Amino acid sequence: MHDKPEPDPATRERQRRLVLDALPVGEVARDAAVTVVHEIARYHRHGAEQVQAELMSVLTPVLAMLREARDASPGEREAFAAFGALRAQQGIGLEPFLEATRLTTRRAFDALYARARTTASPEVGMELLRDFWAACDQVSAEMIQGHREREPAHVQAAQEQRTLLLRQLLTGELPAGWLPSAATALGLDLRAEYRVCHARPDEGHDVAAVERALRPHTVVVLAEPGAQRVIALADGRPPASFGLPSGVGEPRPLARLRESLAQAERGSELAAAFGLRRCVSPDELPLHSAVLTLPQVGECLAERCFGHTSGERRATLVRTVDVYLAADANADRAAAALFVHPNTLRYRIRGLTATTGLDPARTEDALALWWAVRHLEARDHGTN
């Protein structure tokens, strides 16, 4: 038995052209587009016809490369890179982009293999398939490079757009007609209501740390290092403790988020003023809010309650009164919290009453003492 002679160059070229001319490239692009749009989440919002046309813009020059048995020309390489850049600009990350490329390449290979088996000799078929994979390597390299060059700029531009939209949404500056587009860009439900959370850095936390603390409990976050604050939207009541002072507003629709922001800012101010390392809504601390609103009253009460002391003695007495009131005037519990003997605590309280005439057992006097303590606390935090 004798081996069949290999096809001569003319026959080889003719068979290659017969295979490539019979390749249903439009069908390949259509099937690949339908699969990509259906199976890859990042392509769901793209129409199959649009994706098919874009795939044809890549497959057509690849067929030309195979017909002419050559590498990609400089112009084709630029076109492939531009295709990768387009996908980055459309917000399709590199991983889903490569998955879509793999699906398309597989469809094209299967079609090419089927035609080569029936139209060309084994030698020509193998040569054509090797050339196909070599062409795919060139195309993929250029598309990936184009995608990588464009993606950082696109991501930054998209983030800047999201930041602007969220800022306008929170301040009420976003035109009503833009609400649907803003909701889509920010991943929000146009029909839902959201709470605004507001927090500022404190000792031990910078803006980045505050952002990390809020992010797991919110749906979108706006960090503003220049303003030293972080604002976020939550679709429910965030947990009480973020480990830092913060405020939360009442649920509001997207068009009225500025109302929730004002409440959250006030809650954040209250939390910071009184050293509350938790999420505060302004309506839960009405007396604290009054202390901040009326600093002159606080100054008068601080002088009335503690003006007879100074320095360390004053700090000790203020701390004693604060803990005593928090313990509902229970001397034993307050003493345990202060790590002193109950008689020591009672001695301090009697001395306060003897000097000022204020008795914590009387409701009016207890309120005056509490107000004075809270005013001094807010003043120490730089608020009053």
Evaluate if residue 193 carries a pLDDT over 50.
yes
Q: What's the CATH number for 9-157?
A: 1.10.490
Confidence of residue 92 (pLDDT cuts 50, 70, 90): confident
Check residue 242 and give its pLDDT: 64
Mean per-residue pLDDT over the chain, rounded: 89
CATH topology of domain 291-380: Arc Repressor Mutant, subunit A (1.10.10)
In sign, the C-alpha dihedral spanning 120, 125, 131, 136 is positive
Mean pLDDT, residues 90-115 taken together:
91
Write down the domain spans for the chain: 9-157, 192-284, 291-380
| Residue 292 vs residue 160, higher pLDDT | 292
Check residue 262 and give its pLDDT: 95
Q: Are the beta carbons of 341 and 236 closer than 8 angstroms?
A: no
Mean pLDDT, residues 323-332 taken together:
95
Check residue 2 and give its pLDDT: 45
Check residue 1 and give its pLDDT: 41
The length of the chain is: 384
Evaluate if residue 316 carries a pLDDT over 80.
yes
In sign, the C-alpha dihedral spanning 117, 123, 127, 133 is positive
Check residue 239 and give its pLDDT: 66
Confidence of residue 194 (pLDDT cuts 50, 70, 90): very high
Lookup result for tokens 């259509």:
30
Check residue 5 and give its pLDDT: 57
Evaluate if residue 321 carries a pLDDT over 90.
yes
Q: Comparing 35-44, 200-209, 319-328, 363-372, which segment has the lowest mean pLDDT?
A: 200-209
Evaluate if residue 59 carries a pLDDT over 70.
yes
Phi, psi of 59 (to 5 degrees): -65, -35
Which H, E and C letters describe the chain, residue by residue? Answer: CCCCCCCCHHHHHHHHHHHHHHCCHHHHHHHHHHHHHHHCHHHCCCCHHHHHHHHHHHHHHHHHHHHCCCCCCHHHHHHHHHHHHHHHHCCCCHHHHHHHHHHHHHHHHHHHHHHHHHHCCHHHHHHHHHHHHHHHHHHHHHHHHHHHHHHHHHHHHHHHHHHHHHHHHHHCCCCHHHHHHHHHHHCCCCCCEEEEEEECCCCCCCHHHHHHHHHHHCCEEEEECCCCEEEEEECCCCCCCCCCCEEECCCEEHHHHHHHHHHHHHHHHHHHHCCCCCEECHHHCHHHHHHHHCHHHHHHHHHHHHCCCCHHHHHHHHHHHHHHHHCCCCHHHHHHHHCCCHHHHHHHHHHHHHHHCCCCCCHHHHHHHHHHHHHHHHHHCCCC
For 335-351, what is each residue's pLDDT tens digit?
999 999 999 999 999 99
pTM: 0.57
